[in-house]
A and B are shown apart, each in its own frame.
Chain A
Amino acid sequence: MKKEEVPQDESCFSHTNMKEVVYAVDKDGKYGKALSSGWEAKTIALNESLDLIEEQLQETIQKIKEGELSPIAYYMESQRMDVVVLSGYVGIWQWKVKRHLKAKTFKKLSDKTLKKYAEAFEISLEELKNPKI
């Protein structure tokens, strides 16, 4: 990549003062750092993945409304977590967390357990029981 070819496209850090370092050659072929404000090809890839996360979240919301999944599934996905990460934050075994994602099991959970989840998501117990979705 030549320094004049370093892309300066719009990206998610266009609205901040952040730029990222890339390595590129100058006219004499000497390497050095150059700053890029973003690159379209990369932004498209990132947006594709964010869209997928959003799509997944909508599906989950639907399933919660249908009484299949619990609000834990919603908060987990909206904070971009998966079972492994969430299990780490609440200190509960993964297989148990997986069960807590089901609406049926969720109803039987004690406030003590629910509190662990609320703390991990940084929300109140009330918000966990009645999510605004």
Chain B
Amino acid sequence: MKINFEHNQSAHCENGVVSNLLNYNGLKVSEPMVFGIASGVFFIYIPFIKVNFAPMFSFRPVPGFIFSRVSKRLGFKIKRHKFNSKEKAQQTLDAELSKNNPVGLQVGVYNLTYFPDEYRFHFNAHNLVVYGKDGGDYLISDPVMPQVTTLSAKELEKVRFAKGPFAPKGHIYYPTELPNDVDLKKAITKGIKQAYRHMLAPVPLVGFRGIRYVAKRIRKWPDKIGVKKTNHYLGQLVRMQEEIGTGGGGFRFIFAAFLQEASVIMENPRLAELSVEMTAIGDQWRDFAIDASRLYKNRSRETDAYNKIADKLDAIGLAERAFFLDLKRAIK
């Protein structure tokens, strides 16, 4: 049994699943549009949560937020199930597939057999679509993969019941009650408003203030925690910024793509100009990553090198502040 589902490779798994599922259900929205409506652009520094021996940096909202925000703003409902029983989880999946309904699944990455070894971590908020069953194998559309693939029932069960933080518990979801016509303009406005509100938030660890705060810490780290740890922290920042799914530059390029698309829909040329500015900021992030990688590759010991890259990050923080203030004016 195979549902006629269109697989589109995307930068980010959650955007991709949402965009592909909505397209199947007759609502054409691109990946950047999903991302923008969901206010996906973000920054947060969480020094008290350590992942892989380094503090957490994130360039996006908590997993799951994208889908729920899009559904709220476009006016459709999402049906979600979680399970304690593995058998029930498979029965529900099979039942939906037999109704010709492709479904989204939350899975753990570590046991995804088609991922390169280097990317197999115990990260449990990956998303993919199941669009059919062929004998004992499930037909999988993983949005970050170029082509569709398959997983055996056993393999799928394993990733659906991965353990640890964000354990998926067989989480299955799909959109229901899609409206006949959606008010894209209203949804875009809401998405942009929340984006600048978060990026300009008067909270020290969030948005542009979070970026500037990290820059300040980078100046102190070499003396405080040593060069080796500093390099590892910087490596973590770069990985979060450029991991699969960001579309490059910590999601900044996807957001710029969204602004360009939104400019046409909203008939607001200012948004197209801002898209160009966001692209420049994305390029600044990429520059920062190059400098940071040189730093820990050459194991430079001069503290001046750390001050220089802190300067660069601080400049990004200021640029984002100016940008989101402009965006606020543009949408009024």
Contacts and interface: CB of A to CB of B under 8 A. Distances in A.
A55 B12 CA distance: 31
B9 A21 contact: yes
A81 B120 CA distance: 11
A39 B279 contact: no
Interface residues of B, number: 51
Interface in A35-85: 35-36, 39-42, 44-46, 48-50, 52-53, 56, 79-82, 84-85
A88 B231 CA distance: 31
B91 interface: no
Interface stretch (B61-69, B93-101, B178-186, B240-248): B240-248
A23 B32 contact: yes
Contact of B248 (A23, A32, A79, A88): A23
B275 A31 contact: yes
A49 B117 contact: no
Contacts of A82: 122
SS class, residues of chain A in contact with chain B: mixed
A25 B254 CA distance: 11
B116 A12 contact: yes
Contact of A84 (B145, B164, B232): B164
A39 B39 CA distance: 27
A125 interface: no
A12 B11 contact: no
Interface stretch (B131-139, B288-296, B307-315): B288-296
A22 interface: yes
B227 interface: no
A30 interface: yes
A23 B121 contact: no
A82 B254 CA distance: 33
B106 interface: no
B119 A12 contact: yes
